[in-house]
Amino acid sequence: MNSRTVNKIWTGIFYIVAIFIVLLLGFLVFEILKRGWGFWDLSFLTGKSSNVEAGGGIGYQLWNSFYMLIITLIISVPLGLGAGIYLAEYAKPGKLLNFIRLCIDTMASLPSIVVGLFGLLVFVTATGWGYTIIGGALAITILNLPSLARVSESAILDVPGSVKEASLGLGATRWQTIVKITLPSAMPQIITGVILAAGRIFGEAAALIYTAGLMTPILNPAADLSNPVNPFNIFRPAETLAVHIWKLNSEGIVPDAQAIATKSAAVLIIMVLIFNLLARLFSTLLQKHFEGSKGKKKKTQAAA
C-alpha cells in the first residue's frame, strides 16, 4: 500500500470521526430540547420555584446562574490570564517552571466534589460567610484556573517570536509588546478558554451544592445591598440552574419535577449556546478592531 492510499484512508477516518462527533452533539441537543419543549414560556422563565406545588418556575435560578457566571469570570479571567502571561513570558525554563506546570495539571484533574468540600471548609466554615455566591464563585475559580492558565500560556506561546522581536526592536518595552502585540494576536484562543470556563460555570453543580447552597431567599431589588434578599448581594445563598436540576431529579417531591428538570436542562443548553455565540462575536469584533488599526496605520504611512 503506497503512501497516497494510506493518506486517503486516514483522511477518510478523520472525516468520519468528525461527522460522528457533530451528529452525536446534534442528537444530544435535539433530545434535550425535545424533552424540554415549551421551555420558552415566560411564566416558567420568570416564575418562582416551588417545593410542594406544581407549576413552579426558574426565575431565581436563572438569575443566580447569570450572576454566578459574571462574578466567577471577573475573578478567574484576570488570574488565569496573569498566570498564562507569567508562564509564557516571564518564567525561566527549568525545574521550577516544570514543577509549577505539574501543579497546575494536577489541579485541573481535581474532582469538583473535592473542590466543593474544600470550599465548604474554607469559604463557608472558616470565613463564617455561610452559603454565598462569592463562596461558590471562588470554588469554581479553583476549578477553572488551571485550564485558563494553560490555555492562555499556549495561546501566547503560539504568537510568532519574530513579531515580538520586531516590537522590541522598535523600542517597545516587554509590557507594551504583551499588551499591544501578543494579547491581541492570542485573543481568539484565550476567548476559547473563557468559553470553556463559562460552560463549566453554567453546568457545575457538585462544588456549588457545598458553597452556594440549595436555596434562594425571596429576592427584592428594592432592599439594601447588604440585605440577603437583594439580588446583587454576593453574600447570600444562591441556587443555580444546574443545582436546581440536580435537586429536582434527586429529591424533588413536586408532581411535575421531571417536566421542570427537562425544561431547565433545555434552558441551560440555550444559555450556553447564546454565550458561546456572543463570545465568538466579541472575539471577531475585537480582532477586526486591531486589524483595522493596523490598516489605518499602513494607509497613514503610505500617505506620508
With CA atoms as reference, report the closest residue to 41 among 269, 278, 264, 273: 264
Helices 59-85 + 183-203 axis angle, to 10? 140
Confidence of residue 297 (pLDDT cuts 50, 70, 90): low
For the chain, the structural domain boundaries read 1-36, 41-291
Taking CB atoms within 8 Å and a gap of at least 24, the contacts of 105-112 are 105/146, 105/150, 107/142, 107/145, 107/146, 108/146, 108/147, 108/150, 110/142, 110/143, 111/206, 112/143, 112/204, 112/206, 112/207
pTM: 0.86
User: So what's the pLDDT on residue 285?
Assistant: 85
Confidence of residue 303 (pLDDT cuts 50, 70, 90): low
pLDDT digits (tens, 9 = 90+) for 260-287: 999 999 999 998 888 888 888 887 887 7
Q: Which amino acid is at 276?
A: N
Q: CATH number of 41-291: 1.10.3720.10, 3.30.200.20, 3.40.50.170, 3.40.50.2300?
A: 1.10.3720.10
pLDDT digits (tens, 9 = 90+) for 214-248: 888 888 999 998 898 999 999 999 999 999 999 98
Q: Which residue has the cell 419543549?
A: 37
Confidence of residue 83 (pLDDT cuts 50, 70, 90): very high
